[in-house]
Amino acid sequence: MREASQGYRHDPHSVGLATVHLCFIPKRRKPVLKGAIRQRLNEIFQSVAKEKGWFIRSTEIAPDHVHLLIEYDSKHSIADIAKAMKGRSSRLLREEFPELLKLPSLWPRSYFYETSGKISTAKIKEYIEDRHHW
């Protein structure tokens, strides 16, 4: 896999661009993502992304929520991405920071996602409905 000059990802059987905005909160929306925990969480996210071949385009880690903008490949689903990020970070952070063990789990099972790409849905709709295809 490689990144093309136009920004599309080239895999053996596909060419495209898939980007997802993920947002999730700590269990009970506790403001625990501060200081060393915040820094370590960012390191874990970067490590997971690198290992999986994803690109983190933007990150925001607030004390009580996380936003990630991730470019990913066609082999993974959005659920795979959320599971990898939340699963690895929960395990490692709870091992390294015992104060997080007070929560029944670091993350709830839910998350928000929104897909995006190089162009908007409205532009794609306009292109598809253009009479040049007929």
pTM to 2 decimal places = 0.84
Is residue 123 pLDDT above 50, yes or no?
A: yes
Comparing C-alpha atoms, which of 44, 53, 86 is closest to residue 71?
A: 53
2-133 has CATH 3.40.50.2300 classification:
no
pLDDT tens-digit readout, 24-35: 999 999 999 999
Task: Return the pLDDT at 130.
Answer: 78
- In tens, the pLDDT along 34-92 reads 999 999 999 999 999 999 999 999 999 999 999 999 999 989 999 999 999 999 999 99
Q: For residues 99-117, give the mean pLDDT.
A: 93
Total length of the chain: 134
* pLDDT for 112 beyond 50: yes
Q: 8-11 contacts: CB < 8 A, separation 24 or more?
A: 9/71, 9/73, 9/74, 11/73, 11/74, 11/75
Dist. CA 93–CA 40, nearest whole Å: 8
Domain positions in the chain: 2-133
Percent of the chain scoring above 70 in pLDDT: 90
